Structure 1
């Protein structure tokens, strides 16, 4: 599945709105803002900027000054261990916010890297905080984003602590399905822009294990893979597997 960069729409004042013409507005940070409030939010957004595959959006240790909403494309969030090896901690899809892990900190604790050609909308945090003081709905939306980030980290910790490799992979695929569905995309077919090595790093699995599991899932009719395109063929079976089961060898 390919994400397209949405067009712009004109506001009543004649200025170009980055939000009102965006197909992701109903799923994004300004969700629920009144039209006048949306214009104020729009005014603090820095011009959406493109990043090529492999480009750094933020580098671990950079000063924290802004949040970034993914407008199109996707990203991985990574942290370097003591051996300078890259560990993937999260994948970001359109409408999701990069930089939340740095709120309240002077420096970014992770790097964010584009997995494909992508666009982001930059929100200078000082401007966002000032606007949130005037718009309670925006502050509530920001708190929701931060709460979701915390909940995601808790779920991942539980998954990596107790789940088998098969449960980890099934849960990952179902999570991607749910996130695409929440944005109005198909829950059955989507592109995995990340490499299998990145998936392994995220799930705490070896690259060979990820490849073996994907092959096994295909052999048992759970999914089909063509390049980076994945089609989920049996969601109930994947859900059962994510709960506790194992596929036949």
Structure 2
């Protein structure tokens, strides 16, 4: 499943400021490096985590993207999160020791695999690492509440505009273009995440294009009017 790779180091990773190494000194980085392993590449639609599986690892996304989802009582997939480079996957299992959702790759994805027992021990020894873990968990909790607020208090057009704006800001935080990016998730995935129908997502995208706010070319999204997108998001 994984292998040690001496050629991959946290200090050389462009995503380190978004991930666990943030604020660690050189000695702390070296100690973190000793427990991190390289997970084999995931291909599109590979399942990384299954609901009910015991917590053994946290996964840091080095490149690519994943979606997290649950299966509802009707057997339907409900998307609960999208993971980009720099994100950690697996926090859902920290309270019970078992994963409560699935995680599946949306494209070819490279991961760093972090054994939870070794990470717990190291976090006790490195206060900066413990603080960073708490910060990342806090961010995930806030993002979950923000999604609930989006679903409860925004109209369908506002939800989709807010989703595109949020993606734009997340890409910018990773040193990527905030105005032109590729959607690795399907429209059905977006619809599930936002509590909309696929037809509604397509209609709103067309409306935003008609307003010259965005342009959509298959999977590519170009934001031509970021102020207009923010206003559309409410």
Question: The residue matched to 1:236 in structure 2 has which SS?
Answer: helix
CA distance in 2, matches of 1:157, 1:26: 27
1:107 and 2:93 correspond: no
Segments of 5+ residues of structure 2 without an aligned counterpart are: none
1:96 and 2:87 correspond: yes
Q: Deviations over 1:130-169 (max 9, x none)?
A: 0000000000000000000110011111111121001100
Q: 2:11 aligns to what?
A: 20
Asked if 2 retains the 8 angstrom alpha-carbon contact of 1:49 and 1:121, the reply is no
Segments of 5+ residues of structure 1 without an aligned counterpart are: 1-7, 9-14, 244-249
Q: RMSD of the alignment, in Å?
A: 1.1
Q: 1:47 aligns to what?
A: 38
Superposition pairs for residues 79-228 of structure 1, below 5 Å?
79-228=70-219
TM-score (norm: length of structure 1) = 0.90
Deviation, 1:241, is 1.4
Deviation, 1:19, is 1.2
1:240 to 227, 231, 234: 231
Count of matched residue positions in the alignment of Structure 1 and Structure 2: 230
Deviation, 1:17, is 4.2
Tell me which stretches of 4 or more aligned residues in structure 1 moved more than 2 Å.
15-18
1:44–1:118 distance in 2 versus 1, CA, 3 Å: same
TM-score (norm: length of structure 2) = 0.96
Deviation, 1:49, is 2.2
Q: 1:229 aligns to what?
A: 220
Deviation, 1:48, is 3.4
